[in-house]
């Protein structure tokens, strides 16, 4: 299943219910802007993203939503459902009109860039299938000579680069102190669980989805030792080290947990024994922000940034940090060099006699 939406389950090479016409001959509401041939290609494209590109269900769903909005706008723009031929003959002014429309809805540059990325991905899929090429005639067409080139001819919107905001070392360490939550009406095993999750986020640089995706056997299996294998973005596994204090916190949680943690079941469970929701950990961080007087930028994901920044500040190798974080590109990891440079400049300004 590519998407978790109950009303949309595309299967590669087959026509999903969502693209079949209703009894009155009309397309389902969510693809009303697409002609049947275009709707079928959308289904095959989404199946391709999930099965062959190995994108996560969340990413596939976001791409689907963006292309649905794009086709819906074009249908209103042209006054009829969008065929493959119409997509081939798009002009750059049509794409700019879509961008202006989305800007009018109040979306930011980052969201608009992602919307364009989804539309471009669909266009490239059509071209690879031999359905994105046409005669390429007419004025005002985008580059590409008959391909869905208007999308590639448009320059992506500029977005303001914001650096991650890591926590200082001292408060990052104190987040696992259950004494900070002594006034809360929480059972000891719940406090131990939350401390173990936060320790993994900071101590191993995990994403919250990676920490909550761990199975009980990932930590307790023979030979697991001081490292675990996590499943990151794109379902890519990677091995990360786990510090002894973090392992102790996990062991304390497991010992206190009232539920039997089967090897193939989630390591971290909720109050009723089911999988732990990320929202619970987000709420925990909100409470701890107040206790430690931290800014709103102190989120669970900020602990991952803190992990990378603190490693780099102590001389960690950038390539090694890339592997620990599971970044596909080194350029993604390089943002932390800017953070460390800012920290050095701040120290310089505050301490140098001539600053």
SS (H, E, C) the chain: CCCCCCCCCCCCCCCCHHHCCCCCCCCCHHHCCECHHHHHHHHHHHHHHHHCCCCCHHHHHHHHHHHHHHHHHHHHHHCCCECHHHHHCCEHHHHHHHHHHHHHCCCCHHHHHHHHHHHHHHHHHHHHCCCCCCCCCCCCECCCCCCCHHHHHCCCCCCCCCCCCCCCHHHHHHCCCHHHHCCCCCCHHHHHHHHHHHHHHHHHCCCHHHHHCCEHHHHHCCCCCCEEEEECHHHCEEEEECCHHHHHHHHHHHHHCCCCCCCCCECCECCCCCECCHHHHHHHHHHHHHHHCCCCCCCHHHHHHHHHHHHHHCCCCHHHHHHHHCCCCHHHHCHHHHHHHHHHHHHHHHHCCCC
Rounded Cα distance, 31 and 22, in Å: 12
Residue in the block written with tokens 């391709």: 48
Is the pLDDT confidence value at 269 over 90? yes
Mean pLDDT of 63-80: 90
197-217 tens-digit pLDDT: 999 999 888 889 989 999 988
- Compute CA distances 352 → 41, 342, 344, 346, whole Å: 62, 15, 11, 10
Rounded Cα distance, 73 and 67, in Å: 10
Is the pLDDT confidence value at 28 over 60? no
Is the pLDDT confidence value at 137 over 60? no
Query: What is the pLDDT, as a whole number, of residue 239?
Result: 82
Instruction: Give percent above pLDDT 70 in the chain.
Output: 71
Rounded Cα distance, 324 and 196, in Å: 19
Residue in the block written with tokens 């009980």: 216
Q: Within 13 Å, how many C-alpha atoms sit on residue 236's CB side?
A: 12
Mean pLDDT of 71-76: 90
4-13 tens-digit pLDDT: 333 333 333 3
* Mean pLDDT (the chain, rounded): 77
Model confidence, pTM:
0.56
Query: What is the pLDDT, as a whole number, of residue 99?
Result: 84
Which residues are part of the catalytic machinery?
A: 207, 233, 301, 304, 327, 336
Rounded Cα distance, 329 and 322, in Å: 8
Is the pLDDT confidence value at 134 over 70? no
Is the pLDDT confidence value at 243 over 80? yes
Query: What is the pLDDT, as a whole number, of residue 160?
Result: 59
Query: Residue 283 is encoded by which pair of tokens?
Result: 């709420």
- Compute CA distances 53 → 13, 160, 195, 229, whole Å: 16, 29, 35, 22
- C-beta of residue 57 within 8 angstroms of C-beta of residue 2: yes
Q: Which sign, positive or negative, has the C-alpha torsion 91, 93, 94, 98? A: positive
Query: What is the pLDDT, as a whole number, of residue 138?
Result: 38
Residue 266 pairs in a beta bridge with: 215
């Amino acid at each position: 299943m590519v998407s978790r939406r109950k009303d949309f389950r595309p299967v590669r090479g087959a026509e999903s219910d969502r693209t079949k016409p209703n009894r009155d001959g009309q397309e389902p509401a969510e693809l009303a802007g697409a002609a049947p041939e275009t709707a079928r290609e959308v289904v095959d494209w989404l199946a391709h993203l999930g099965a062959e590109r190995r994108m996560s269900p969340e990413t596939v769903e976001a791409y689907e939503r963006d292309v649905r909005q794009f086709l819906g706008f074009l249908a209103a723009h042209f006054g009829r459902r969008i065929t493959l031929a119409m997509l081939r003959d798009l002009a750059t002014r049509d794409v700019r009109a879509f961008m202006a429309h989305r800007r009018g809805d109040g979306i930011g540059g980052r969201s608009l860039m992602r919307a364009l990325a989804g539309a471009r991905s669909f266009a490239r899929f059509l071209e690879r299938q031999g359905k994105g090429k046409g005669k390429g005639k007419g004025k005002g067409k985008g580059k590409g000579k008959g391909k869905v080139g208007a999308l590639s001819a448009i320059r992506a919107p500029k977005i303001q680069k914001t650096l991650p905001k890591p926590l200082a070392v001292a408060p990052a360490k104190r987040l696992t102190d259950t004494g900070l939550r002594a006034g809360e009406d929480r059972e000891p095993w719940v406090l131990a669980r939350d401390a173990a999750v936060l320790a993994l986020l900071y101590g191993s640089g995990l994403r919250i989805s990676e920490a909550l995706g761990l199975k009980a056997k990932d930590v307790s299996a023979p030979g697991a030792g001081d490292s675990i294998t996590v499943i990151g973005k794109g379902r890519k596994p990677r091995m990360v080290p786990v510090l002894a204090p973090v392992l102790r916190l996990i062991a304390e949680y497991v010992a206190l947990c009232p539920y039997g943690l089967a090897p193939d079941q989630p390591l971290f469970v909720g109050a009723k024994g089911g999988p732990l929701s990320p929202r619970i950990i987000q709420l925990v961080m909100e409470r701890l922000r107040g206790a430690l007087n931290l800014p709103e930028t102190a989120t669970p994901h900020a602990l991952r940034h803190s992990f990378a920044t603190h490693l780099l500040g102590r001389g960690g190798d950038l390539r090694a940090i890339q592997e620990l974080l599971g970044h596909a590109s080194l350029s993604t990891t390089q943002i932390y060099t800017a953070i460390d440079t800012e920290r050095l400049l701040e120290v310089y300004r505050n301490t140098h006699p001539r600053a």
